[in-house]
Amino acid sequence: MSVLTLSKHQNVLLQKRGLACERSTRIHQNVHVHIVDMSSPRALWEFAGSFTQSHSLNVLINNAGCMVNQRELTEDGLEKNFATNTLGMFILTTALIPELKKSQDPRVITVSSGGMLVQKLNLDDLQFEKGTFGLWLMHRTTHKSSMPDFHARMKNKLRTEAQGADTVVWLAVSHAAVKHPSRLFFQEQTPVATHLPLALTRSSSAEENELMKTLEQLGERFKMRLTSGL
Give the whole-angstrom CA distance, residue 206 versus residue 215: 14
Distances (CA, A) of 215 to 22, 33, 71, 114, 187: 26, 28, 20, 22, 27
Q: Taking the model in full, what pTM does it have?
A: 0.78
In the DSSP assignment, the letter for residue 73 is B
Instruction: Specify whether the CB–CB gap between 9 and 104 falls below 8 A.
Output: no
In tens, the pLDDT along 61-112 reads 998 888 787 889 999 999 998 999 999 999 999 999 999 999 999 999 998 8
In tens, the pLDDT along 4-29 reads 332 233 444 444 445 554 443 455 56
Residue 19: per-residue pLDDT:
52
pLDDT at residue 217 is higher than 60: yes
For the chain, the average pLDDT equals 79
Residue 121: per-residue pLDDT:
80
Enumerate domains of the chain plus CATH numbers: 12-228 (3.40.50.720)
pLDDT at residue 146 is higher than 70: no
At residue 221 the predicted structure's pLDDT band, cuts being 50, 70 and 90, is very high
Give the whole-angstrom CA distance, residue 33 versus residue 88: 19
